[in-house]
Amino acid sequence: MKASQFLDPVVLARIDNLALLARTVVDGFINGLHRSPYFGLSVDFAEHRQYMPGDDIRRVDWRVFGRTDRFYVKEYEADTNTNFSVLLDISRSMDYGTGKVTKLDYARYLAACLSYFSRQQRDRVGIVTFDSDIVDLVPPSAKHLDIVLHTIDRTKVGTVGTLEAPLLKVAETVSRRSILVLISDLYEEPDTILRAVNRLRHKGNDMIVFQVLDPAEIEFPFTDAAHFEDLETGERIPIVPATLRDQYLKLMGDHQEALSRRLVDNQIDYCQFLTSKPLDYALFQYLSRRERMSRVR
Amino acid sequence: MGISFLAPLFLMGALAVAIPVLIHLSQKTKKEAVRFPSLMFLTRVPYKEVRKQRIRHWLVFLLRSVAILLLTVAFARPLLENSALGVVGIADARENVIMLDQSFSMSYGPRWDRALDAARRVVDGLRPDDRATLILFSDRAEMVEPPGRDLVVLRSVIDQLRPTHRSTRYGPALQLAEQVLRESELPHREAVIITDFQKVGWDEEVSAKLPQGTQLTRVDVSDPDPVNIAVADVSLSRDYVSNREEVTVLARITNQGPEPAAGLQVTLDVDGQRSAERVVDLAANDAVAVRFPPVPLPQRDVRYVIRAGEDAMPVDNAYHLVVSPGAPISVLILQHPSARAEESLYLERALQIGREPRYQVLTKRVNELVPSDLDQTAAVILNDAPYPQRESGRSLRRYVEAGGGLLVVFGQRVGAGTWPVAMNDMLPGSIGDPVDRLAERGGTFSVADYDHPIFELFSTPRSGDFSQTRVFRYHRISQQTSATVLARYDDAGIALAEVRLGQGKVLAWTSDMANSWNDFPLQPVFLPFVHQVVQYLAAYEPVRPSRTVGQLLDLSRDLVTDGVTRTETASSSGELDLVVTAPSGERWVERAGSPDRLLELEEQGYYEFRGLGAGDELLVRIAVNVAAAESDLTTVDAEEFASAITESGGASAAASLVATASPEERERRQGLWWYLLIAVLLVLVAESALANRAGRTKRKTTE
């Protein structure tokens, strides 16, 4: 089986163990792409690691060198690590999928992969799940990967979702500068989304927004006239897709464009993931962009 | 030109056209709601707009409706009234019956080739609308009707035909032809008979008549002056020289031609080896008997083939036989314990004279009987002797019950009181005191049942006169219900009666056979009478040295009588799976236990029967010959033949039949439903193409 096939969301859906899933996806392109925002301030010794070309020679542990005749670098928790939290939208609209994987499933895989990936980077990982309010909150910690993965694993679909209220609460709880990844389908007006996200960003957090959508939401392939039911509100309206399709596509395109433009203008990373795309592809796309941005900064 | 339907009820199926309408009206409406993450971009659309757009793809809809309508009409079996399409076809159509003689006289010279050529010509002359039936006949007739009236099939059937070894009979073929022609609804009827018009197969009293208006074509394939030498018949006579059996073959050779046959070589082959040769001169249309020198017969079955000359029909130039050694019938005569030396003289002498079959006579006093004496005995005669006592008596009863035969002769030594009461059921009645007819100077007796196997031989006039016998005394018998009286005295007393006991039979003769109470032993009928009685008691069936083609062989019965019982291995052939090898070399298996194990003998030569799984051991061989009468190639007058089998008058029958052709026939000939089905197929192909195209267009717009 090819790796790309294995990383297909449908294939991944068969893996129950999120830790294994995350490792499967992340292993292979794990290269450090971000720097610690709190360089050298912590004194919490973590471990030694072998000296690598490019490391600051001031951090070589000479005593160890004296004993072993090898170069080891002392590492401290805060030296290379940052807080990394996933803000996972579990509202009902995320429970949609025309294939075998729903948007929520995809978002869970993505959250697990990112958490695992960050932990590999020695970040402290945490997670917040929310719908109209915060449902679960795991504060970032170096020892919380298992709890994070377990939380993701037992996440169930919530109720009606909003962004503003729960993200406001998150902004109140985050005390250290963190990398915050918002995973949502972003069914709100761009202004509302920007307002909610900016609150976090303005507190010094590095904000990343992942929008997860099903291909049907982008392509609107429906042909038969039927009642369409809103997953969150349960509201039903009669729809003739043939007449409505163009209008829908235009509105959807405008929404995506507005989101992208507004978020990027505010220096917020924004990336759209389709549930039909392989996870590694999505991650790679994001991380590449992230690296380019970091070089620019 | 009107149109009507054979099955108008099928037109109700036109209602099915509502199906595509419903499909097209309802296919876009779904009752289940489509769940969607958010309706924030979707605007409300009034439902009435949906209805306005329901029927799309009008062409596809029309094609579907047309397909259903055409299918409905096709099932209703339409036919055009007064249509040239139907009438022309039926007016010209002919019902053809081709009668082809397959008897072995057709193998004479090039007759068979001529016959096949004629048959092919007839088939080639048929039109597509004609119907043809081939009747193959010999002494029986069978009909070959090609499926779908396919003339190519009929021609290929003709190509594979071969003449049989059967004889000629016109009756069955004519009856079959009459039946086919009478049942035909076609206006023209034609019969073709391809034969050599052999007189031997012609019965002037034949009841079959070809229907009025039938055009009969005679194809005579006979030759003007045929020459045919044939071995018409063979008889065997057996003799015993120094206890060795010899067989003398007497063959009857016929010359059925206008030319004399001089220096004709007649040969006898025994088991494939030339045994004797004779050269004879035969005048035209003459016959001669050829006697071969006696041939010693070994203790096994031997193949005899008698051949005479060579001619254009070799089938009847050879005669096949299987000669089996003559097995004697063993007869045990039991006398009174105090009997004189020659008290059974007349019986013994009568049985010693027998040749075919021979009799092996053992005479004992009844008190000397031991059970083992009965083991190899075919018949027992209790000649004026009391019933055996103790174990011997019980053995005799068991012997009869198991299928043995017993003749009880009541004379002066035995009578009322001498027969044990326990064995009374072995007699046709209770025996009484003697009746004295001396005062009347004796009475006589006559046969009561000439159909009985014992007296069948004497049934024809001057073939045995029992009335010359004078009977002076006899024992009166009061007949029991299960007994059959076969002969009576002139005073109504019973002379000979029979009773069945188990599988066997007991005959009671109420006067003696010692020329004392009667003079029957001195009468000429005494000897054949005794032979018949013993053969009947022994259930004797003569072994037939040959059979005739066309005879039926009952494998579970005839093979036993044809000698299977003579060998130990073959004794149960009636229960064996038999591998049959025909003279042509064809082999097949006849399974045991099937209710009718009948085999029709089709070929001249030797049929061989082997037990399945018993190796190559031959159980029975049967010789089969063609019927001698078929060798007579004299022909019947063809005109007489034709006038005898056709009904006169009614030449205009064809015209009246046009009008009476049934709607079914006209519909069948027009075959409109067939064209409609093709149209349905084409419409459906077009519909598929259009529907696919519409589907692709829709998908493209969706994408």
Task: Please give the domain boundaries of chain B with CATH numbers for all domains.
Answer: 2-28+53-83+671-702 (no CATH), 92-223+635-658 (3.40.50.410), 228-323 (2.60.40.10), 329-537 (3.40.50.880), 547-628 (2.60.40)
Torsion of CA A23, A28, A33, A35, to 10 degrees: 50
Q: Are B666 and B57 in contact (CB under 8 A)?
A: no
Reduced to 3 states (helix: H, G, I; strand: E, B; else coil), residue B240 is strand
For residue B128, which phi and psi values (nearest 5 degrees)?
Answer: -60, -30
Tokens matching residue A217:
């939401």
Closest CA to B228 of B315, B304, B112, B113: B315
**Cβ count near B390 (within 10 Å):** 7
Token look-up 């005394």 returns: B473
Do B36 and A231 count as a contact with CB atoms less than 8 A apart? yes
Closest CA to B393 of B418, B429, B376: B418
**Whether the predicted pLDDT of A24 surpasses 60:** no
> Which are the contacts of B597, defined by CB distance < 8 A and separation ≥ 6?
B554, B555, B556, B590, B591
Reduced to 3 states (helix: H, G, I; strand: E, B; else coil), residue B279 is strand
For residue B339, which phi and psi values (nearest 5 degrees)?
Answer: -70, 150
Residue A237 to chain B, least CA–CA distance (Å): 6
Task: Name the amino acid, one letter, at B469.
Answer: T
The string of pLDDT tens digits covering residues B432-449 is: 888 888 888 888 888 878
- Chain B contact set for A252 (CB, 8 A): 41
Question: Residue B480: what pLDDT?
Answer: 82
Residues of B with CB under 8 A from a CB of A: 28-30, 32-47, 49-50, 53, 698, 702-703
**Whether the predicted pLDDT of B323 surpasses 80:** yes
Measured distance CA(B684)–CA(B10) in Å, rounded: 20
State which of A67-76, B393-402, B644-653 shows the largest mean pLDDT: B393-402
Asked if A96 reaches chain B (Cβ–Cβ under 8 Å), the answer is yes
Question: How much of chain B, in percent, has pLDDT values that exceed 70?
Answer: 87
Residue B23 to chain A, least CA–CA distance (Å): 14
- Chain B contact set for A225 (CB, 8 A): 28-30, 50
Measured distance CA(A287)–CA(B9) in Å, rounded: 75
Do B44 and A242 count as a contact with CB atoms less than 8 A apart? no
Question: Residue B661: what pLDDT?
Answer: 54
End-to-end CA distance of chain A: 40
Measured distance CA(B271)–CA(B604) in Å, rounded: 17
Beta-bridge partner residues of A274: A213
Q: How confident is the model at residue B253 (pLDDT cuts 50, 70, 90)?
A: very high
Q: Are A106 and A123 in contact (CB under 8 A)?
A: no
End-to-end CA distance of chain B: 55
Closest CA to A119 of A9, A208, A18: A18
Q: Which of B24, B32, B39 to mutate to test the interface with A (most CBs of A within 10 A)?
A: B39
Closest CA to B419 of B431, B435, B409: B431
Do B36 and A230 count as a contact with CB atoms less than 8 A apart? yes
CA distances from B322 to A61, B61, B319 (A): 122, 82, 10
Measured distance CA(B197)–CA(B636) in Å, rounded: 6
Residue of A nearest to B51 (CA): A225
The mean-pLDDT minimum among A231-245, B58-72, B537-551 falls in: A231-245
Q: Which of B40, B47, B55 to mutate to test the interface with A (most CBs of A within 10 A)?
A: B40
Residue of A nearest to B45 (CA): A239
Measured distance CA(B488)–CA(B472) in Å, rounded: 14
What average pLDDT is seen over chain B?
82
Q: How confident is the model at residue B568 (pLDDT cuts 50, 70, 90)?
A: very low
Question: Residue B664: what pLDDT?
Answer: 72
Token look-up 């009107």 returns: B2
Task: Name the amino acid, one letter, at A149.
Answer: L
The DSSP-derived string for B331-366 is EEEEE-TT--TTTTHHHHHHHHT--SS-EEEEEEEG
Question: Residue B508: what pLDDT?
Answer: 92
Strands, E assignment, B179-314: 188-195, 215-220, 229-241, 244-255, 261-270, 273-282, 286-291, 295-296, 302-308
Q: What share of chain A is helix, strand, coil (3-state, %, to 5)?
A: 45, 20, 35
CA distances from B361 to B350, B407, B508, B634 (A): 10, 14, 20, 51
Ramachandran region, residue A220 (left: φ > 0; alpha: ψ -120 to 50; beta: rest) = left
- Chain A contact set for B29 (CB, 8 A): 224-226
The string of pLDDT tens digits covering residues A248-285 is: 888 889 899 999 998 888 888 888 888 888 877 777 76
Tokens matching residue B540:
């004797």
B280 or B129: which leads in pLDDT: B280
- Chain B contact set for A221 (CB, 8 A): 702-703
H-run or E-run covering A182: strand A178-184
Tokens matching residue B150:
């396919």
The string of pLDDT tens digits covering residues A96-148 is: 998 888 999 999 988 888 888 788 777 788 999 999 899 999 988 888 888 99
Torsion sign across C-alpha atoms B337, B343, B349, B351: negative
Torsion sign across C-alpha atoms B684, B686, B689, B693: negative
Token look-up 């769940």 returns: B35
Classify residue A138 by its DSSP letter.
E
Q: How many CA atoms lie within 13 A of B649 on its CB side?
A: 0
ipTM of the complex: 0.77
Closest CA to B263 of B288, B297, B239: B288
Tokens matching residue B637:
């007058």
Q: Are B442 and B493 in contact (CB under 8 A)?
A: no
Average pLDDT over residues B539-564: 76
Asked whether the whole model's pTM tops 0.80, one would answer: no
Asked if A252 reaches chain B (Cβ–Cβ under 8 Å), the answer is yes
Q: Are B397 and B389 in contact (CB under 8 A)?
A: no
**Residues in chain A, overall count:** 297
H-run or E-run covering B684: helix B672-702
Measured distance CA(B440)–CA(B421) in Å, rounded: 33
Average pLDDT over residues B19-23: 72
Q: Over the range A262-289, which residues count as b (16 or more CB within 10 Å of their CB) and which as e? A: bbeeeebbbbbbbbbbbbbebbeebbee
A294 or B370: which leads in pLDDT: B370
Asked if A29 reaches chain B (Cβ–Cβ under 8 Å), the answer is no
Measured distance CA(B375)–CA(A155) in Å, rounded: 102
Task: Name the amino acid, one letter, at B580.
Answer: V
Question: CA-based diameter of chain A, in Å?
Answer: 79
